[in-house]
């Protein structure tokens, strides 16, 4: 059995996680790593890897067939380009690059050299996302017109390169890369407009809170929102269809689906006091017209990414995170930043 040998550029938190924790098929393994920091190189050595001081030295190792780029975000583009120029296949951590233009250059370079280029979109296997996908696929909510996806914490952004725009910090690049990718997988439509507002509570430049609205040509609208100063959190997911709603409250996957069982609505002739005060429209519906159901069971497959990458290396399967999908996420990120800067809704066809 031929073994595919891979190297890691940036043996920090995520680089080491890839080697130590992520399940891989028997025919694929990490053999080398490089990091600028001596303590991270020592760790890589302890973890059984051949260690290099510079990316260039690792890229000149003929044993290494593919590399993972797991450095701070601003270095993904130059390092991925160098790797492709050295004839290596590339896995980029997210965000693959800081702009769609950079990623397009990588796609061109990979195509020219017949090399693989992909982005580690591991949150495609998060159970909350899989549950929402299953609910939508089952059509339980009728025509879905609103998707809201949020991730919130209350501790600000970790005090590392993640806080600084010059290193590709900020929440749109960090969590936005995952959540935009998920939203695009949930709906078949074309994105027709992008609007973002961002806030800077900690540093003046990188966003630590943002609210991104996407409109689709199907009539669906989606919200992606990240907060880092939320002491009370919104639900992770809130989905509205014409015949039902679904909500996932938190990472513990609590939540419910409520669907319509009787479409006939009996409107009161007169305003009667109810829990919403003197309102006919917002008076609660009677309980016998809806059913409350638990969220569906889902299985996650944590081995999906490397199993697919090994098969793609052998030419037996297309990449599950296709470059065109990553490009689309980055095009939306580009437009989101431009929209926030111009304080305008930007129209597009993506
Ligand atoms: P980190 O700061 O822990 O690690 C980055 C490492 O890169 C450090 O050890 C640093 O010394 C090294 N480095 C910096 N410049 C280098 C260079 N020129 N050559 C070699 N090494 C260099 O950061 P992290 O949390 O591991 O994040 C790394 C990447 O992983 C980021 O792009 C981040 O967005 C991504 N990430 C992804 C997930 C996910 O769920 N997919 C989770 C966390 C981080």
pLDDT digits (tens, 9 = 90+) for 112-137: 999 999 999 999 999 999 999 999 99
Among 17, 19, 80, 93, which residue has the most ligand 1 atoms within 8 Å of its CB, making it the best to mutate?
A: 93
Q: What ligand 1 atom has the least distance to the C-alpha of 79?
A: 18
Please list every protein residue whose CB sits less than 6 Å from any atom of ligand 1: 9-15, 34-37, 40, 55, 70-73, 75, 93-94, 120, 122, 160, 174
Residue 46 CA to ligand 1 centre (angstroms): 19
Residue closest by Cα to atom 1 of ligand 1: 12
Tell me which residue has its CA closest to atom 9 in ligand 1: 12
Backbone angles phi, psi at 237, to 5 degrees: -135, 140
What pLDDT, in 10s, does the model give residues 219-256? 999 999 999 999 999 999 999 999 999 999 999 999 99
Instruction: Determine the atom of ligand 1 nearest the C-alpha atom of 71.
Output: 7
Q: Which DSSP state fits 7?
A: E
Instruction: Please give the model's pTM, rounded to 2 decimal places.
Output: 0.97
Mean pLDDT of all residues in 137-150 = 97
Assess contact for 12 and 40: CB atoms under 8 A: yes
CA–CA distance, 237 with 255 (Å, rounded to integer) = 9
Residues 57, 34: contact at Cβ < 8 Å? yes
Atom of ligand 1 nearest to the CA of 122: 41
Q: Is the pLDDT of residue 203 over 80?
A: no
């Amino acid at each position: 059995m031929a073994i595919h040998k891979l190297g890691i550029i940036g043996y920090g938190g995520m680089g080491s996680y890839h080697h130590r924790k992520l399940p891989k098929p028997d025919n694929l393994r990490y053999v080398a790593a490089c990091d600028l920091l001596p303590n991270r190189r020592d760790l890589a050595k302890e973890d059984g890897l051949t260690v290099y001081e510079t990316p260039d030295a690792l890229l000149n190792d003929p044993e290494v067939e593919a590399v993972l780029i797991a450095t701070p975000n601003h270095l993904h583009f130059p390092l991925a380009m160098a790797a492709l120029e050295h004839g290596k296949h590339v896995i980029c951590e997210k965000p693959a690059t800081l702009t769609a233009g950079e990623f397009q250059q990588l796609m061109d370079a990979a195509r020219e050299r017949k090399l693989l280029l992909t982005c580690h979109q591991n949150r495609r296997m998060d159970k909350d996302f899989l549950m929402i996908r299953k609910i939508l696929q089952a059509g339980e909510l009728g025509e879905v017109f609103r998707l809201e996806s949020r991730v919130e914490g209350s501790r600000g952004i970790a005090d590392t390169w993640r806080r600084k725009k010059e290193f590709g910090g900020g929440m749109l690049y960090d969590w936005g890369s995952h959540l935009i990718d998920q939203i695009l997988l949930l709906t078949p439509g074309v994105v027709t407009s992008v609007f973002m507002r961002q806030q800077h509570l900690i540093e003046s430049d990188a966003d630590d809170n943002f609210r991104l609205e996407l409109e689709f040509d199907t009539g669906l609208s989606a919200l992606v929102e990240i907060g880092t100063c939320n002491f009370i959190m919104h639900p992770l997911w809130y989905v509205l269809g014409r015949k039902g709603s679904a909500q996932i409250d938190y990472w513990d996957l609590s939540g419910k689906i409520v669907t319509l069982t009787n479409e006939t609505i009996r409107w009161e002739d007169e305003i009667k006091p109810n829990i919403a005060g003197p309102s006919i429209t917002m008076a609660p519906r009677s309980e016998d017209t809806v059913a409350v159901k638990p969220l569906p069971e889902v299985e996650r497959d944590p081995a999906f990414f490397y199993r697919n990458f090994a098969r793609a290396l052998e030419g037996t399967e297309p990449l599950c995170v296709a470059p065109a999908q990553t490009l689309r996420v980055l095009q939306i990120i580009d437009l989101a930043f431009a929209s926030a800067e111009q304080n305008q809704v930007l129209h597009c066809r993506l």
